[in-house]
Structures are given as structure tokens and as C-alpha cells.
């Protein structure tokens, strides 16, 4: 049975990410949630904070573990003995970028497949950046992110 890697920046993890992780765990049994260090990206949460929020959020999903990574995703997948990269696809806008990444990764590592799961309709509109925008201006993110993330966001934007 192949095991899977679910990569992302997770700045922060949302219920949309969680849905993809849960469905991957259901399909593949084992899922490594790969938290990208995000060099060159300005993130709201540090990599340690993002890792901790992901770890707490996936603690109820059996077969899921969290690992921080940097460098090439396909190398990381090999190190983790994973042969499938699972990505969530929202609207058409995700497609072009994801298609390009999948083809580049296929060229680098032909033995590793990228598999796309369609976003669940209720999370189709949900993104980390949208959640940060709402939280920044004092809106409610209940139902969009796990409780620990809600607390983390209010800690960041308090005052």
C-alpha cells in the first residue's frame, strides 16, 4: 500500500487542508503532513508554530504524522518512503500552478505520482490567506479553521 505526503505551507492550517488530509489518510492509510519551511515566503506563523498547529489539528487522524521539510518535495517524499503526493484542488485558479508542479516533479522523480483530490464544496472558497484577512479585521473564523488555529490567530492579531 503506497503512503502519501500532503505538502503545504499551512500558514495556518484550515478545515480545507484538514479535509484533504483526512481523505488521504482514508485512502492511503499513512499520511505525512509536510510543513514547508517556506524560505522566501513571508508567513504569519513561524515554522514551529505552524508545525504545532498542524500537529494538534491532525492528532485525531490515525495514520497522520507531521514533519517539517525544506528543499525538493520529491526528495523529501523519497526519504519518507512515500510514493504519492496528494494535493487539494479548489477552483480553476489552482490548476495551472499545480499542473506545472506535478509535471516538474514527475520529471524529477518518475516513480512518484501526484494525486489531486477535489476540494469539498464547503471548503472550495477557503484559503489560509482569506482566513488571515478575516481574522486581521476582527471577523469570525469559526468553522473555517480548527479551534487551536482560531486561538492562534486571535493571539497574533490581538491589539
Q: Residues in the site for ligand ADP, rule: CB under 6 A?
A: 8-10, 14, 16-17, 20, 87-88, 90, 94, 119, 123, 126-128
Report the residue number, 49 or 94, with the smaller CB distance to ligand ADP.
94
Report the residue number, 3 or 24, with the smaller CB distance to ligand ADP.
24
State the catalytic residues.
Answer: 17, 41, 90, 128
Please write down the HEC assignment for all residues of the chain. CCCEEEEECCCCCCHHHHHHHHHHHHHHCCEEEEEECCCCCCCCCCHHHHHHHHHHHCCCCCCEEEEEECCCHHHHHHHCCCCEEEEEECCHHHHHHHHHHHHHHHHHCCCCEEEEEECCHHHCCCCHHHHHHHHHCCCCCECCECHHHHHHHHHHHCC
| Least Å from the CB of residue 19 to ligand ADP | 6
Report the residue number, 17 or 30, with the smaller CB distance to ligand ADP.
17
| Least Å from the CB of residue 17 to ligand ADP | 5
| Least Å from the CB of residue 9 to ligand ADP | 4
Amino acid at each position: 500500500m503506497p503512503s502519501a505526503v500532503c505538502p503545504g505551507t499551512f500558514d495556518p492550517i484550515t478545515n480545507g487542508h484538514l479535509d484533504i488530509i483526512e481523505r488521504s489518510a482514508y485512502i492511503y492509510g499513512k499520511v505525512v503532513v509536510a510543513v514547508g519551511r517556506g524560505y522566501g515566503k513571508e508567513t504569519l506563523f513561524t515554522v514551529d508554530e505552524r508545525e504545532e498547529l498542524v500537529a494538534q489539528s491532525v492528532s485525531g487522524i490515525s495514520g497522520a504524522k507531521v514533519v517539517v521539510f525544506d528543499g525538493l518535495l520529491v526528495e523529501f517524499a523519497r526519504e519518507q518512503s512515500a510514493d504519492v503526493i496528494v494535493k487539494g484542488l479548489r477552483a480553476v485558479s489552482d490548476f495551472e500552478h499545480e499542473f506545472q508542479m506535478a509535471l516538474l516533479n514527475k520529471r524529477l522523480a518518475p516513480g512518484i505520482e501526484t494525486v489531486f483530490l477535489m476540494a469539498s464544496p464547503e471548503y472550495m472558497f477557503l484559503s489560509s490567506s482569506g482566513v488571515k484577512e478575516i481574522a486581521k479585521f476582527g471577523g469570525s473564523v469559526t468553522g473555517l479553521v480548527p479551534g487551536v488555529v482560531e486561538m492562534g490567530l486571535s493571539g497574533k492579531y490581538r491589539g
